[in-house]
Amino acid sequence: MLEKALTGDSKYWGWIGFLLLLIAVGFGAYLRQFNEGLTLTGLSRDVSWGFYIAQLTYLVGVAASGVMLVMPYYLHDHKAFGKITILGEFMAVGAITMCLLFVLVDLGQPMRMMNMIIFPTPNSVLFWDMVVLNTYMFLNIIIGWTVLQNERKGIHYQKWVKVLIYLSIPFAVSIHTVTAFLYAGLPGRHFWLTAIMAPRFLAGAFCAGPAILLLIVFFLRRFTSFDAGDKAIKSLAVIITYAMILNVFFLLLELFTAFYSQLPGHMHAFVYLFAGLHGGHALVPVMWASVILAVIVLILLIPPKFRNNYNLLIPALIMLVLSTWLEKGVALVVAGFIPNPLEHVNEYAPTLNELVISVGVYAVGALIVTVLYKIAIGVKAEVGDAAH
């Protein structure tokens, strides 16, 4: 099937070339960092994780969101998702590849990466994160590829594939739960020390991931022969709406616990995010932008009249992706370090080199998703399942 990715018009090749260029530039920036060390980032002794790990966190959610298609389709026989489930699975492959690359570029000694396997340490959450991320990635590659291949041959997928599909559902939940445990189990970080960290992550994932997918679906509908169908779009929009409501609700729960209890440790990071603390206020605009966008998104998504109007749905989805990214892909990780354990406010901002590396990683993910989608859509067109 790979040959489907090798034929395309000039726009396709232009896009591939553009991504390869970004990857090359990002790789160049990474070589600089590899040589000089993480001093080229904005990270410090106090804010020791930043943009890279925040992207990991966000993208794990994007990957996990594939389950929002897999579950309705395979468990509840929601036929409308039949055509786009493969898109969710392939998006997960791209997202997890990016997650693993973001961990890699964050390591101080990347050449020793294999120490995690040579000296497996089950009491470390990072060990389990590695296990579930890799397993989930392979599950999605195998499932997506096999189902597509069978579709091409005009046969139903085998029983063993069904077993893997069922297995992939708890694994989707586990990747984001374990990623939340990276944060939620640390004794001195009040901002992260919350039992609803995993549910918050899942709620954020289940709105942001499908939103990205739906935007891609709209793009494919416009520019290719692939049409997911109105029924699938509308069901997915409902799922996104519920998940976004939960996402905002969970944030409000955090705010209640922090401010009604008046526990200083629990309030500090929120004060820092929303108002600034001890003269540090770099994330105040980020947090407010996220919250304001979230409110607009809910207004546009909750009434069916607005949600079913694609002219409103598309901007709502874009704002949703932006809002959740600002919260989880920027603020959540950084604010856990501010104030530091000694209550000093030392702020963080990514450097240009850090951002160029990150763009390179995103380009790798986009390239993988592009190639896999090209194949999927090519096969669907071949068997006559592309147009609605």
Partner 1 sequence: MKSDRRHFLKAAGVATIGVAAGATAAEANLLDSAKELLLGPKGAAPYPEAKKGARWAMVVDTRKLTAESMEKMIHACNHAHNIPLHPLRKKGDKYNKDEIKWIWEEEFENAFPGQMNEHLPPKVTQNEVLVLCNQCENPACVRVCPTKATFQREDGIVIMDFHRCIGCRFCMAACPYGSRSFNFKDPRIASLEINPEFPTRMKGVVEKCNFCAEQLDKGLQPHCVEACKNGELVFGDMNDPESEIRKVLRNNYTIRRKPEVGTQPQVYYIV
Q: C-beta of 115: minimal distance to partner 1 in Å?
A: 4
Whole-angstrom distance, CA of residue 210 vs CA of residue 81: 12
- Contact present, 57 and 179 (Cβ < 8 Å): yes
- Contact present, 293 and 323 (Cβ < 8 Å): yes
Residue 106 found at the interface with partner 1 (CB under 8 A): yes
Can you say whether residue 41 is alpha, beta or left, with left for phi > 0 and alpha for psi between -120 and 50 degrees?
Answer: beta
Taking residues 86 to 105 in sequence order and writing x for each that binds partner 1 by CB under 8 A, - otherwise, the string is -----------------x--
Q: Which is nearer to partner 1, 52 or 226 (CB)?
A: 52
Q: Which is nearer to partner 1, 257 or 340 (CB)?
A: 340
Q: Report in angstroms the alpha-carbon separations of 214 from 79, 175, 229, 283.
A: 17, 22, 11, 29
Taking residues 307 to 336 in sequence order and writing x for each that binds partner 1 by CB under 8 A, - otherwise, the string is -----------------------------x
Q: Which is nearer to partner 1, 7 or 48 (CB)?
A: 48
Residue 262 found at the interface with partner 1 (CB under 8 A): no
- Residues 108, 153, 195, 305: which binds partner 1 (CB under 8 A)? 108
Q: Which is nearer to partner 1, 109 or 311 (CB)?
A: 109
Q: Which is nearer to partner 1, 289 or 355 (CB)?
A: 355
Whole-angstrom distance, CA of residue 139 vs CA of residue 122: 22
Residue 123 found at the interface with partner 1 (CB under 8 A): yes
Q: C-beta of 36: minimal distance to partner 1 in Å?
A: 6
Residue 124 found at the interface with partner 1 (CB under 8 A): yes
- Residues 75, 107, 238, 275: which binds partner 1 (CB under 8 A)? 107
Q: Which is nearer to partner 1, 334 or 375 (CB)?
A: 334
- Residues 30, 49, 206, 250: which binds partner 1 (CB under 8 A)? 49
Q: Which range touches partner 1 (CB under 8 A), out of 194-202, 203-211, 302-310, 337-345?
A: 337-345
Q: C-beta of 183: minimal distance to partner 1 in Å?
A: 8
Q: Which of residues 170-209 bind partner 1 (CB under 8 A)?
A: 182-183, 185-189
Q: Which range touches partner 1 (CB under 8 A), out of 45-53, 219-227, 231-239, 357-365?
A: 45-53
Q: Which range touches partner 1 (CB under 8 A), out of 32-40, 68-76, 355-363, 377-385?
A: 32-40
- Contact present, 95 and 59 (Cβ < 8 Å): yes
Q: Which range touches partner 1 (CB under 8 A), out of 35-43, 156-164, 166-174, 241-249?
A: 35-43
Q: What is the 3-state secondary structure (H, E, C) of the chain?
A: CHHHHHCCCHHHHHHHHHHHHHHHHHHHHHHHHHHHCHHHCCCCCCCCCCHHHHHHHHHHHHHHCCHHHHHHHHHCCCHHHHCCHHHHHHHHHHHHHHHHHHHHHHCCCHHHCCHHHHCCCCCCHHHHHHHHHHHHHHHHHHHHHHHHHHHHHCCCCCHHHHHHHHHHHHHHHHHHHHHHHHHHCCCCCCCCCCCCHHHHHHHHHHHHHHHHHHHHHHHHHHHCCCCCCHHHHHHHHHHHHHHHHHHHHHHHHHHHHHHHHCCHHHHHHHHHHHCCECCECCCHHHHHHHHHHHHHHHHHHCCHHHHCCHHHHHHHHHHHHHHHHHHHHHHHHHHCCCCCCCCCCCCCCCCHHHHHHHHHHHHHHHHHHHHHHHHHHHHHHHCCCCCC
Whole-angstrom distance, CA of residue 135 vs CA of residue 173: 12
Q: Which is nearer to partner 1, 268 or 307 (CB)?
A: 268
- Residues 135, 224, 308, 340: which binds partner 1 (CB under 8 A)? 340
Residue 130 found at the interface with partner 1 (CB under 8 A): yes
Residue 110 found at the interface with partner 1 (CB under 8 A): yes
Q: C-beta of 129: minimal distance to partner 1 in Å?
A: 9
Residue 115 found at the interface with partner 1 (CB under 8 A): yes
Point out which residues bind partner 1 (CB under 8 A): 36-39, 41-46, 48-49, 103, 106-110, 112-113, 115-116, 118-119, 121, 123-127, 130, 182-183, 185-189, 264, 336-337, 340-344, 346-347
